[in-house]
């Protein structure tokens, strides 16, 4: 078997993109990031405003991943009716911008995307790409027997029959979904997807809570990383199933108006099987409170002095650095530490699975 490969799914906000910039070079070489282009704000008019938004998101991708290897780009969250200058489709704007800036982008499409999106991706493919990615959602897996023919038809429509095919089984938020249900849906889908002989099949999901409202102020809380635990169980037998997650950000994140919502200071720290979520109070009321929150986190046995940029920043905050950064800074910190640790976990599972496979083969030979 080949080693499992991790794909962090991140929004194209500056804070998340910077989390990739701050990764150690050895970690960057072991991931294929997936960029979800940030949704437009409600009532954004077509034309210049849409165009500027798409270019801004594209340049965040460029800053994070220029000449760093392949990455995926999807516009799942972008309003289907949005159009830029001269009626250009957002997917066209994004892919032309990143391509001209030396980003090796793999376009992503879903079975149920509208005709305009598919036509835009077809044009992107015609201009030259290295692969095509299909993003399946939970509804797509309800009729597994239809997956192979539907995907084959879609790939043909896109003019991508000669390209390597990458398939994402994206369950998005599984906070309220039983693990057994996810495993059953995934197992049935895999049987059909393997008929297509894809270059890559990726399980993706998120169990992070959508907000921190239920947590008390100045408290430390734990949330199980059920998406990782679910995949690690399946990976023992599904040796062709790679892993993706949304890190510490909920899949349905929206770009809130800070004038209307007063977010609390927080740290979302990734441990082996859970997140440690340290919640403070309204950040604007005390912009230095990450000092106390970091000290609270460092007192836990799960905190790792692993040398990554995110962990080092938390340590310096606990010691009383001069400036503690903005809320955006702490998204960067949390995601950076999450990606670094998850890469190590996925590599460890690859090694353990290889050993198990070798032992099994040796038993058969004997």
pLDDT in tens, 70-90: 999 999 999 999 999 999 999
CB 210 within 8 A of CB 169: no
Residue 88 lies in a domain: no
Residue 1 lies in a domain: no
Residue 106 lies in a domain: no
- Residues 243, 166: Cα–Cα separation, whole Å: 12
CA atoms within 13 A on the CB side of 75: 29
| Alpha-carbon torsion angle 62, 37, 4, 243, nearest 10 | 160
Q: What is the pLDDT of residues 133-181, one digit of tens each?
A: 999 999 999 999 999 999 999 999 999 999 999 999 999 999 999 999 9
Q: How far is CA 242 from CA 92, 169, 201, 250, 314, in A?
A: 28, 10, 6, 20, 30
Show the tokens assigned to 244. Answer: 């993706």
- Residues 305, 312: Cα–Cα separation, whole Å: 8
pLDDT reported for residue 260 = 62
pLDDT reported for residue 362 = 53
Residue 245 — left, alpha, or beta (φ > 0 → left; ψ -120 to 50 → alpha)? beta
Q: What phi and psi, each to the nearest 5 degrees, are found at residue 106?
A: -100, 115
pLDDT reported for residue 361 = 57
Q: What is the pLDDT of residues 278-319, one digit of tens each?
A: 999 999 999 999 999 999 999 999 999 888 999 999 999 999
What is the rounded average pLDDT for all residues in the chain?
94
Q: Which helix (H) or strand (E) holds 274?
A: strand 274-282
pLDDT reported for residue 357 = 66
Whether 255 has a pLDDT exceeding 70, the answer reads: no
pLDDT reported for residue 254 = 67
Residue 66 lies in a domain: no
Split at pLDDT 50, 70, 90, the class of 358 is low
pLDDT reported for residue 36 = 98
CB 31 within 8 A of CB 339: yes
CB 144 within 8 A of CB 192: yes
Residue 89 lies in a domain: no
Residue 317 lies in a domain: yes
Residue 233 lies in a domain: yes
Return the SS3 of 273: coil
Whether 364 has a pLDDT exceeding 50, the answer reads: no
Whether 365 has a pLDDT exceeding 60, the answer reads: no
DSSP state of 161: T
CB 76 within 8 A of CB 117: no
Q: Among residues of the chain, what percentage have pLDDT more than 90?
A: 90
Return the SS3 of 183: helix
pLDDT reported for residue 366 = 41
Q: Where are the alpha helices (DSSP H) in 66-130?
A: 90-100, 115-126
Annotate 1-33 with DSSP letters as a single string. -PPP-EEEEEESSHHHHHHHHTS-HHHHTTB--
Q: What is the pLDDT of residues 221-236, one digit of tens each?
A: 999 999 999 999 999 9
Single pTM value for the model: 0.95
Whether 261 has a pLDDT exceeding 80, the answer reads: no
Q: The domain containing residue 260 runs over which residues?
A: 6-31+131-365
For range 104-116, the mean pLDDT: 97
Q: Residue 276's Cα: distance from chain center in Å? A: 19
Q: Per DSSP, what are the bridge partners of residue 166?
A: 133, 200
Residue 73 lies in a domain: no
Whether 339 has a pLDDT exceeding 60, the answer reads: yes
Burial of 60 from C-beta contacts in 10 A (0-12 / 13-18 / 19+)? buried
DSSP state of 31: B
Domains in the chain, number: 1
Residues 6+ apart with CB under 8 A from 20: 8, 10, 28, 33, 64, 65, 339
For range 242-265, the mean pLDDT: 83
């Amino acid at each position: 078997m080949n080693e499992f490969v991790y794909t962090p799914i991140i929004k194209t906000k500056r804070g998340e993109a910077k989390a990739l910039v701050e990764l150690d070079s050895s970690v960057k070489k072991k991931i294929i990031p997936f960029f979800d282009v940030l949704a437009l704000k409600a009532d954004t008019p077509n034309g210049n405003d849409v165009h500027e938004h798409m270019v801004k998101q594209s340049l965040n991708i460029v800053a994070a991943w220029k000449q760093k290897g392949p990455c995926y780009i999807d516009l799942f969250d972008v309003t289907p009716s949005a159009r830029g200058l001269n009626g250009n489709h957002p997917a066209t704007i994004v892919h032309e911008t990143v391509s001209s800036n030396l980003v090796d982008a793999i376009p992503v499409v879903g079975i149920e995307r509208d005709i305009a999106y598919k036509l835009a991706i077809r044009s992107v493919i015609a201009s030259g790409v290295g692969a095509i990615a299909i993003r399946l959602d939970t509804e797509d897996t309800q009729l597994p027997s239809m997956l192979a023919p539907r995907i084959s038809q879609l790939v043909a429509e896109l003019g991508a029959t000669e390209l390597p095919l990458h398939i994402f089984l994206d369950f998005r938020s599984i906070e309220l979904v039983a693990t057994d249900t996810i495993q059953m849906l995934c197992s049935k889908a895999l049987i059909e997807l393997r008929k297509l002989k894809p270059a890559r099949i990726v399980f993706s999901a998120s169990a992070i809570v959508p907000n921190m409202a239920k947590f008390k102020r100045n408290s430390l809380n734990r949330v199980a990383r059920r998406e990782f635990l679910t995949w690690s169980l399946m990976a023992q037998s599904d040796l062709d199933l790679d892993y993706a997650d949304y890190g510490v950000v909920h899949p349905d994140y929206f770009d809130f108006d800070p004038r209307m919502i007063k977010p609390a200071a927080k740290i979302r720290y990734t441990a082996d099987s859970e997140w440690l979520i340290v919640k403070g109070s309204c950040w604007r009321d005390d912009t230095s409170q990450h000092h106390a929150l970091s000290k609270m986190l460092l007192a836990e046995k799960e905190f790792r002095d692993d040398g990554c940029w995110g962990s080092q920043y938390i340590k310096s905050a606990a010691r009383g650095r001069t400036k503690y950064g903005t809320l955006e800074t702490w998204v960067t910190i949390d995601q950076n530490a999450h990606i670094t640790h998850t890469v190590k976990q996925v590599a460890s599972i690859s090694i353990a699975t290889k050993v198990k496979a070798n032992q099994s083969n040796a038993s058969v030979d004997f």
